[in-house]
Structures are given as structure tokens and as C-alpha cells.
Amino acid sequence: MRKFVAVATASAAALLASCTITPAVQNEFSSPFFTDFADVASWENRYPPPYVLSYPDETMYFYRIWNYHPRADLNLKAISCSRTSDGALVVTASVQNMGADVVPTVPNFNGELASFRISALVTWADGTQQEVEAFVPVPMAVSGTVDQRLGRTRYLFNDVRRIEVVADPDRIVPDPVRLNNVLSWQGTMGNDAPRCDVVRS
């Protein structure tokens, strides 16, 4: 009996000696295995509430809706001009979303749902300036393009000398670089039809 107990004890010791303990694998998408309360606090504070609120509000109960910062890239590809029946100027802007995320429609400063605003500063020969604008009412899909007509000017197009168009001047869209959202035209208009075509190369 003693011999049997000794053999069993030696076998168990040999078996346990060859075993290794592997720690549980943790990653961002698996459930964490906490060892102390510090781990619990660090896990809960991965995405802390923002200290500065931004517009539009991209939080739910002050916590982020998603775990990463959305990124869009509004590319103001081209601008063109046309005239109304009474000789006013109308600017059309072509904008493409070249980012990685959809630009949704959100409540804008005017209270309407829109993706973003496009504005154009029109300058006449005598120095008179007017800002015309338009809100894009549809979401901007990834690589999607929209041709948006802006509001008409108060004065005739003949004496227009400069037009500067900006896509998203309110900086609502998460576009951190903003190197391609401005186009300018400078020159003289024709007598019959306005010509201000500018295409980004």
C-alpha cells in the first residue's frame, strides 16, 4: 500500500512538473480578465467622456458613439456659373467625399438636416460683396459626388470680378486636412453668359 501511494505521488509530481500555466489572451475585442481594480478602471476609461463638447454632438450621454474618430475628405472638384432670366448670377459647386466615412445629415445652424454647407463670396467691380450659400440635403457616401446650386446674387453678373467658394465653412464635417475644399475664380464675365469654370487639376 505504501509503495502504491509513493508511486502515485511520484507520478502526479512528474505530471505537474511538465504543465505550464498560460495567461489568458486579451485584446480590444475580447472580454477582459481583471486582476485588480486598477485594471477595471483602465478598461472602463478607454473611451472617456469628452471634456469639450463639439457641434454636431457625436456622443450619447456624453460617451462616444463609436470607438474611433470618423474621417472624411471633402474635395471641391469644380465650380461653374449660370445666369437667371433677370441676369443674376448662380454658382454651382461639385463636391466629392474622398474620405473613409459617410458624411451623414445632421441638424445644421439653420435648424435643417443637411450634410454640410457650401458658401461663395462674390465680389463685383466696385468692391461690393455678397455671400451666397446652399445646404447639401443628402448624405455624402464614400466617393459620392454632389452638384449643388447656390443661391442667386442680388446684382447682375456682368460686373463680377471674383468668386471664392468654400465647402463646409462651418467645419462640421470631420475633415482634418482641408487642403482641397476651396476654389477661386478671378476675371471678367462675358456679356451674354457668365463664365467662371474652374476645375481642380
| Pairing assessment for the beta strands 198-199 and 117-124 based on DSSP bridges | unpaired
Query: What pLDDT is attached to residue 43?
Result: 61
Give yes or no for a contact between 92 and 79, defined as CB atoms under 8 angstroms apart. yes
| Pairing assessment for the beta strands 74-83 and 198-199 based on DSSP bridges | antiparallel
Backbone angles phi, psi at 164, to 5 degrees: -125, 120
- Domain residue spans of the chain: 2-64, 74-199
CATH architecture of 74-199: Sandwich (2.60)
Q: Global pTM?
A: 0.65
Give yes or no for a contact between 144 and 97, defined as CB atoms under 8 angstroms apart. yes
Query: What pLDDT is attached to residue 104?
Result: 86
Residue-wise burial string across 166-190, b where 16 or more C-beta atoms lie within 10 A, e elsewhere: bbbbeebbebeeeebbebebeeebe
Rounded Cα–Cα distance for residues 103 and 72 (Å): 7
Rounded Cα–Cα distance for residues 48 and 41 (Å): 11
Query: What pLDDT is attached to residue 39?
Result: 61
Query: What pLDDT is attached to residue 182?
Result: 94
The pLDDT profile of the chain, 201 residues, written as one tens digit per residue, is 666 656 667 666 655 555 555 544 555 544 455 455 556 556 655 655 555 556 566 666 666 666 656 678 899 999 999 999 888 999 999 999 988 888 888 887 777 889 999 999 999 999 999 999 999 999 998 889 999 999 999 998 989 999 999 999 988 888 877 889 999 999 998 778 888 899 997
